[in-house]
Amino acid sequence: MTEPAAIDDTTEGAAGAATRRLTDLACGFCGLGCDDLEVAVTGRAVRPRTACPEAAVLLRRGPGPPPGPRVEGREVPLAQAVSAAARHLAASRAAVFSGLGTDVDGLRGLADLAVRFGASLDHAGSEGLFRNLDTLQRTGWIAATLAELRTRCDVLVVIGADPRRAYGRFFERAVPPEALFTDDRTMVFLGSGPEAATRDQLAGHRLIEVPVVPGFLGEALAGLEAFLRGRGAAEFAGALDGALGADLAELAELLRAARYAVFVWDAADLPAPQAEEVVHRAAAIVAQLNRAGRAAVFPLGGRDNVVGANQVMLWRFGHPLRTLVDGRASRHAPDLYATAVALRDADLLLHADSFRPRPPPAFSAGPVIALAHPATEFAREPEVFIPVGTPGVDHAGTVFRMDGIVCLPLEKLRDAGLPRLADVAAAIRAEDGA
């Protein structure tokens, strides 16, 4: 994923260019919204100084110039690539917009493009979001934002795998040792348990592990809900007779006594056949706990501003992602407009991704327009490639944190001449005769 020319640890990048140290930067990569990052910038080169491994890789830039726009593999001026993109879009009858990894302005630009040319829209990281929406849209839930978790949570239940791998600084941010409203916290891992580094990090807290194999999470949560409703293990036909049943019964007691229990999971990482069931059970348990006490869900997710993409879709079109915008009407059908499905009937793919060099999904039934990270490596050369800047590196921008409430301002770190995705989209839309 690292840009080939990016490894550069000398102090001087371009000859004579001074090095600037930038602090307290907000991060838009995984959705956790850390905002204490630090980088050193020399000319075009960006060297991360304080960042998690994921952010370090994605922030790093070399001193060399980024590639220019290409049409059919040939380098062309930006204006020419914009015209070519507009021509392809104008000729298309079933366009798919994928990726959607960009800031709010970029998303607005893509929405405008969809209104002008017609397209279905989905984000590359929306799988987990839709697993959560299955519950949120059908029954709803009670959720908490990050600061509520930080200040109040006395029992944290992690469902599934340790979130550390996907959200590097989750525990550091969510359960710091000192909290406003609670003196002690209990961390419960219901699933595959904490990694060693997590165990170290949580040393100050009480740790409870309830091992559950991934395929059994739904049943385990059903059992926990039954205990909380005062029903016994009997109705589970023996499935909860052993250690798991005892653990869950104990957990139910712990939760009943909790002042503010929070349930977290990463829906994208839950085993596919029962992911929705797990989310549904967790929300139901929280609903049950709120009858007499307080509890909330905190669904993990939000990589590459997928939460922001969904928010923009909602206020622009009144629908979540996976929506077709066709002329003056828009239609939401998650089964039809998920990228992989929509591509089956598509005649054009516009892949927009400004956060990471993620190649577009495989597509051969029509032209591919890539408004993409400059380091993107393509399996086949797109008809149009316009390298765009990364929000928080090449230009300022706004992204949503995973809780959907806090939006963060990303800063411009350098000027490498890369355009904003928003400006490219606006230029395509404004193209004459398209």
Partner 1 sequence: MRVRVTNGRVFDPASGWVDAARDVLIADGRIVADDLPQPGETVYDAAGGVVMAGGIDLHSHIAGGKVNLGRLLMSEDRRAHPEPFGDFCGCGGGRALPTAHATGCLYSQMGYTAVFEPAMLGANARHAHLEMADIPNIDTGGYLVLGNDDAFLQLLAQGEGQDALNDYVAWMIKATQSCAVKLVNPGGISAFKFNGRSLDLDEEGPYYGLTPRRILGALQQAVTELGLPHPIHLHGCNLGVPGNIDTTLATIAAAEGFALHLAHVQFHAYGQEGDRRFSSGAAALAAAVNAHPHVSVDVGQVMFGQTVTASADLMAQYRNHRHASPGKWAGMDIECDAACGVVPFRYRDTSFVHGLQWAIGLELFLLIDDPWRVFLTTDHPNGAPFTTYPHLIRLLMDKPFRDAHLARLGPAVRAHTGLGEIRREYTLEEIAIVTRAAPARALGLADRGHLAPGGVGDLVVYAEDSDREAMFAAPRLVLKNGREVVRDGAIVALQAGSTFAAAPPCDPQMDARMARWFDEAIGLKAKHFRIADHEIRGGRGPIRLECRP
CA-closest candidate to residue 270, choices 159, 190, 129, 137: 159
- Angle at which helices 421-430 and 78-91 cross, to 10°: 60
**Residue 15 identity:** A
What is the Cα 81 distance to its own chain's centre?
A: 29
Is there binding between residue 274 and partner 1 (CB under 8 A)? Answer: no
406 contributes a contact to partner 1 by CB under 8 A: yes
Q: Which two tokens stand for residue 368?
A: 């591919």
User: Minimum distance between the CB of residue 144 and ligand SF4, rounded to whole angstroms?
Assistant: 18
Q: Which of 6, 8, 13, 33 binds ligand SF4 (CB under 6 A)?
A: 33
Q: Does 51 interact with ligand SF4 (rule: CB under 6 A)? A: yes
Alpha-carbon distance of 355 to 345, in angstroms, equals 27
Rounded to 10°, the helix 275-289/243-257 angle is: 40
- Strand 155-161 to strand 186-193: parallel, antiparallel, or no bridges (unpaired)? parallel
Give the residue, chosen from 6, 25, 30, 190, that forms a contact with ligand SF4 under the rule CB under 6 A.
Answer: 30
The verdict on 306 binding ligand SF4 (CB under 6 A) reads: no
Lookup: tokens for 163: 């979130």
Please state, in angstroms and rounded to a whole number, the distance separating the CA atoms of residues 324 and 334. 10
Q: Is residue 146 part of the contact set for ligand SF4 (CB under 6 A)?
A: no
The Cβ of residue 415 has, within 10 Å, a number of other Cβ atoms equal to 12
Tell me the window of 48-56, 184-192, 271-279, 330-338 that interacts with ligand SF4 (CB under 6 A).
48-56
> Could you tell me the CA-to-CA distances from 351 to 162, 368, 382 in Å, in that order?
31, 7, 10
> Between 355 and 394, how does the x/- string for binding to partner 1 read (CB under 8 A)?
----------------------------------------
- Secondary structure (3-state) at 29: coil
Candidates 12, 19, 35, 423; binder of partner 1 (CB under 8 A) is 35
Output 33 or 109, the one with its CB closest to ligand SF4.
33
- Cβ neighbors of 312 (< 8 A, separation 6 or more) are 104, 107, 108, 111
Structure tokens at 311: 């928010």
27 binds, among partner 1, ligand SF4, none (CB under 5 to 8 A by kind): ligand SF4
For ligand SF4, the binding residue among 60, 61, 169, 185 (CB under 6 A) is: 169
Per-residue interface string for the shown chain with partner 1, residues 307-346, x marking contact by CB under 8 A:
---xx--xxxxxxx----x-xxxx-x--------------
The encoded tokens of residue 75 equal 């380098």
DSSP 8-state class, residue 351: E
Q: Among residues 123 and 281, whose Cβ is nearest to ligand SF4?
A: 123
Taking CB within 5 to 8 Å according to partner kind, which of partner 1, ligand SF4, none is near residue 108? partner 1
Q: Closest separation between CB of residue 54 and ligand SF4, Å?
A: 4
Q: Where do contacts with partner 1 occur on this chain (CB under 8 A)?
A: 24, 26, 33, 35-36, 104, 108, 111, 115-116, 133, 136-148, 150-152, 173, 176, 178, 180-181, 259-260, 290, 293-294, 296, 310-311, 314-320, 325, 327-330, 332, 398, 400, 404-409
